[in-house]
Amino acid sequence: MIDALFGSKTRVKLLHLFTNHPGQSFYVREITRLIDEQINSVRRELSNMLEVGVITSDSSDNKLYYQVNQRYEFYAPLRAIFANEPLNAAKQVLNEGETAGEQYLSAIAGITALRLAILSGVLVKGSNSSVDVLLVGTLPTAKVKAAMGIIEKLEGREINYTVMSYEDFYYRMSVRDKFITEILNSKHVVAIDKDNVLGQSQQSQK
Protein backbone atom coordinates (compact mmCIF):
# COMPACT_ATOMS: atom_id res chain seq x y z
CA MET A 1 0.00 0.00 0.00
CA ILE A 2 2.65 2.53 1.03
CA ASP A 3 4.82 1.42 -1.92
CA ALA A 4 2.04 2.44 -4.29
CA LEU A 5 1.56 5.76 -2.51
CA PHE A 6 5.24 6.69 -2.81
CA GLY A 7 5.71 5.17 -6.27
CA SER A 8 8.60 2.78 -5.59
CA LYS A 9 9.51 -0.01 -3.18
CA THR A 10 13.14 1.11 -3.35
CA ARG A 11 12.19 4.71 -2.47
CA VAL A 12 10.20 3.52 0.54
CA LYS A 13 13.13 1.41 1.76
CA LEU A 14 15.47 4.39 1.32
CA LEU A 15 13.14 6.65 3.30
CA HIS A 16 13.03 4.06 6.09
CA LEU A 17 16.82 3.85 6.11
CA PHE A 18 17.53 7.58 6.07
CA THR A 19 14.83 8.73 8.53
CA ASN A 20 15.87 6.07 11.05
CA HIS A 21 19.52 7.23 10.89
CA PRO A 22 19.53 11.05 10.89
CA GLY A 23 23.08 12.39 10.85
CA GLN A 24 24.50 9.12 9.47
CA SER A 25 25.91 8.87 5.93
CA PHE A 26 25.89 5.85 3.60
CA TYR A 27 27.61 5.12 0.28
CA VAL A 28 25.78 3.44 -2.61
CA ARG A 29 27.01 -0.15 -2.28
CA GLU A 30 26.46 -0.03 1.46
CA ILE A 31 22.88 1.12 0.83
CA THR A 32 22.21 -1.69 -1.65
CA ARG A 33 23.28 -4.23 0.97
CA LEU A 34 21.23 -2.63 3.75
CA ILE A 35 17.98 -2.42 1.80
CA ASP A 36 18.55 -5.45 -0.48
CA GLU A 37 17.80 -3.70 -3.77
CA GLN A 38 19.55 -3.50 -7.15
CA ILE A 39 22.22 -0.82 -7.49
CA ASN A 40 20.66 0.77 -10.58
CA SER A 41 17.35 1.18 -8.80
CA VAL A 42 19.10 2.64 -5.76
CA ARG A 43 21.09 5.11 -7.86
CA ARG A 44 17.95 6.25 -9.67
CA GLU A 45 16.01 6.87 -6.47
CA LEU A 46 18.96 8.60 -4.79
CA SER A 47 19.15 10.96 -7.76
CA ASN A 48 15.42 11.72 -7.47
CA MET A 49 15.65 12.31 -3.73
CA LEU A 50 18.67 14.58 -4.17
CA GLU A 51 16.82 16.63 -6.76
CA VAL A 52 13.87 17.38 -4.46
CA GLY A 53 16.10 17.95 -1.40
CA VAL A 54 15.13 14.97 0.78
CA ILE A 55 18.76 13.92 1.05
CA THR A 56 22.18 15.55 0.68
CA SER A 57 25.45 14.13 -0.62
CA ASP A 58 29.12 14.61 0.18
CA SER A 59 32.36 13.09 -1.11
CA SER A 60 34.93 11.47 1.16
CA ASP A 61 37.73 8.96 0.45
CA ASN A 62 36.69 8.82 -3.23
CA LYS A 63 33.17 7.74 -2.26
CA LEU A 64 29.91 9.64 -2.50
CA TYR A 65 27.97 9.52 0.78
CA TYR A 66 24.27 10.29 1.26
CA GLN A 67 22.29 11.26 4.33
CA VAL A 68 18.84 12.64 5.10
CA ASN A 69 18.46 16.42 4.91
CA GLN A 70 17.18 17.29 8.37
CA ARG A 71 16.33 20.82 7.21
CA TYR A 72 14.14 19.59 4.36
CA GLU A 73 10.74 21.30 4.50
CA PHE A 74 8.82 18.03 4.90
CA TYR A 75 11.38 16.18 7.01
CA ALA A 76 9.14 16.00 10.09
CA PRO A 77 6.11 14.38 8.36
CA LEU A 78 8.39 11.96 6.48
CA ARG A 79 10.04 10.93 9.74
CA ALA A 80 6.61 10.53 11.35
CA ILE A 81 5.67 8.08 8.57
CA PHE A 82 8.88 6.13 8.09
CA ALA A 83 10.95 6.26 11.28
CA ASN A 84 10.59 3.38 13.73
CA GLU A 85 10.87 5.71 16.74
CA PRO A 86 7.83 7.98 17.23
CA LEU A 87 8.64 11.57 16.28
CA ASN A 88 7.46 13.04 19.56
CA ALA A 89 8.82 10.40 21.93
CA ALA A 90 10.26 13.10 24.18
CA LYS A 91 6.83 14.58 24.91
CA GLN A 92 6.62 12.31 27.94
CA VAL A 93 9.39 14.41 29.51
CA LEU A 94 7.21 17.51 29.39
CA ASN A 95 3.71 18.35 30.54
CA GLU A 96 0.88 16.86 28.52
CA GLY A 97 -1.27 19.31 26.56
CA GLU A 98 1.47 21.87 25.90
CA THR A 99 1.79 23.36 22.44
CA ALA A 100 5.09 22.93 20.58
CA GLY A 101 6.15 26.48 21.50
CA GLU A 102 5.35 25.87 25.16
CA GLN A 103 7.35 22.65 25.08
CA TYR A 104 10.38 24.44 23.67
CA LEU A 105 10.01 27.14 26.32
CA SER A 106 9.76 24.50 29.04
CA ALA A 107 13.00 22.98 27.79
CA ILE A 108 14.99 26.23 27.90
CA ALA A 109 13.35 28.05 30.81
CA GLY A 110 15.44 26.20 33.39
CA ILE A 111 18.79 27.28 31.96
CA THR A 112 20.48 29.33 34.67
CA ALA A 113 21.23 33.00 33.80
CA LEU A 114 19.41 32.87 30.45
CA ARG A 115 18.53 36.46 29.50
CA LEU A 116 17.33 36.13 25.92
CA ALA A 117 16.11 33.22 23.80
CA ILE A 118 15.04 33.44 20.17
CA LEU A 119 13.50 30.57 18.20
CA SER A 120 13.76 30.53 14.41
CA GLY A 121 14.82 28.24 11.58
CA VAL A 122 13.10 24.85 11.57
CA LEU A 123 11.30 25.66 14.84
CA VAL A 124 9.30 28.55 13.32
CA LYS A 125 7.18 27.95 10.25
CA GLY A 126 8.15 30.29 7.43
CA SER A 127 11.58 31.13 8.85
CA ASN A 128 14.58 30.92 6.52
CA SER A 129 17.19 31.36 9.25
CA SER A 130 20.03 28.84 9.44
CA VAL A 131 19.97 29.21 13.24
CA ASP A 132 17.15 27.47 15.12
CA VAL A 133 17.85 28.72 18.66
CA LEU A 134 19.83 31.74 19.84
CA LEU A 135 20.59 31.81 23.58
CA VAL A 136 22.09 34.86 25.29
CA GLY A 137 23.70 34.96 28.72
CA THR A 138 26.53 33.41 30.73
CA LEU A 139 25.12 29.91 30.49
CA PRO A 140 26.16 26.53 31.93
CA THR A 141 27.13 24.27 29.03
CA ALA A 142 25.58 21.13 30.52
CA LYS A 143 22.15 22.72 30.94
CA VAL A 144 22.23 24.16 27.43
CA LYS A 145 23.07 20.74 25.96
CA ALA A 146 20.34 19.08 27.99
CA ALA A 147 17.73 21.61 26.85
CA MET A 148 18.77 21.33 23.21
CA GLY A 149 18.68 17.55 23.53
CA ILE A 150 15.03 17.70 24.57
CA ILE A 151 14.16 19.97 21.64
CA GLU A 152 16.03 17.69 19.24
CA LYS A 153 14.03 14.71 20.49
CA LEU A 154 10.79 16.65 20.08
CA GLU A 155 11.77 17.64 16.55
CA GLY A 156 13.35 14.33 15.62
CA ARG A 157 16.35 16.11 14.10
CA GLU A 158 19.50 18.03 14.94
CA ILE A 159 19.09 21.66 16.01
CA ASN A 160 21.48 24.47 15.06
CA TYR A 161 21.91 26.65 18.13
CA THR A 162 24.19 29.50 19.11
CA VAL A 163 25.14 30.74 22.57
CA MET A 164 26.68 34.18 23.15
CA SER A 165 27.23 36.54 26.05
CA TYR A 166 24.83 39.42 26.62
CA GLU A 167 27.59 41.95 25.92
CA ASP A 168 28.47 40.29 22.62
CA PHE A 169 24.84 40.12 21.54
CA TYR A 170 24.10 43.73 22.48
CA TYR A 171 27.18 44.99 20.64
CA ARG A 172 26.41 42.95 17.52
CA MET A 173 22.83 44.16 17.51
CA SER A 174 23.90 47.80 17.94
CA VAL A 175 26.26 47.67 14.93
CA ARG A 176 23.73 45.76 12.79
CA ASP A 177 25.92 42.66 12.68
CA LYS A 178 24.98 40.47 9.70
CA PHE A 179 24.55 37.28 11.77
CA ILE A 180 22.13 38.89 14.25
CA THR A 181 20.33 40.91 11.59
CA GLU A 182 19.59 37.80 9.52
CA ILE A 183 18.00 36.09 12.52
CA LEU A 184 15.91 39.12 13.50
CA ASN A 185 14.86 39.85 9.91
CA SER A 186 13.76 36.26 9.40
CA LYS A 187 10.53 35.04 10.96
CA HIS A 188 11.27 34.28 14.62
CA VAL A 189 9.75 33.96 18.09
CA VAL A 190 11.18 35.72 21.14
CA ALA A 191 10.73 33.07 23.83
CA ILE A 192 12.53 34.97 26.62
CA ASP A 193 13.67 38.60 26.82
CA LYS A 194 14.26 39.37 30.49
CA ASP A 195 15.83 42.78 29.84
CA ASN A 196 13.41 43.77 27.05
CA VAL A 197 16.47 44.45 24.91
CA LEU A 198 14.63 43.74 21.66
CA GLY A 199 11.70 45.93 22.68
CA GLN A 200 14.08 48.80 23.53
CA SER A 201 15.83 48.34 20.17
CA GLN A 202 12.57 48.57 18.24
CA GLN A 203 11.58 51.73 20.10
CA SER A 204 14.95 53.39 19.42
CA GLN A 205 14.57 52.72 15.68
CA LYS A 206 11.18 54.44 15.44
pLDDT along the chain (206 residues), means of 10: 66 92 92 95 94 93 92 86 63 49 80 93 89 95 93 87 96 94 93 84 42
Residue 57 host element (H or E): strand 55-60
Same domain, 76 and 124: no
Q: Which of 82, 99, 131 is the last residue of a domain?
A: 82
- The pLDDT of residue 176 is 93
Task: Assign residue 63 the CATH number of its domain.
Answer: 1.10.10.10
Same domain, 64 and 119: no
Q: Which of 56, 82, 108 is the last residue of a domain?
A: 82
DSSP reduced 3-state for 24: coil
Q: Which of 82, 113, 135 is the last residue of a domain?
A: 82
Residue range(s) defining the domain that contains residue 50 = 2-82
**pTM of the entire structure?**
0.70
DSSP reduced 3-state for 186: coil
Beta-sheet strand order (sheet of 55-60): 26-27, 63-68, 55-60
Same domain, 128 and 165: yes
- The pLDDT of residue 154 is 82
Instruction: Tally Cβ neighbours within 10 Å of residue 1.
Output: 4
- The pLDDT of residue 204 is 38
Same domain, 130 and 49: no
Same domain, 111 and 128: yes
Number of folded domains that form the chain: 2
Same domain, 62 and 113: no
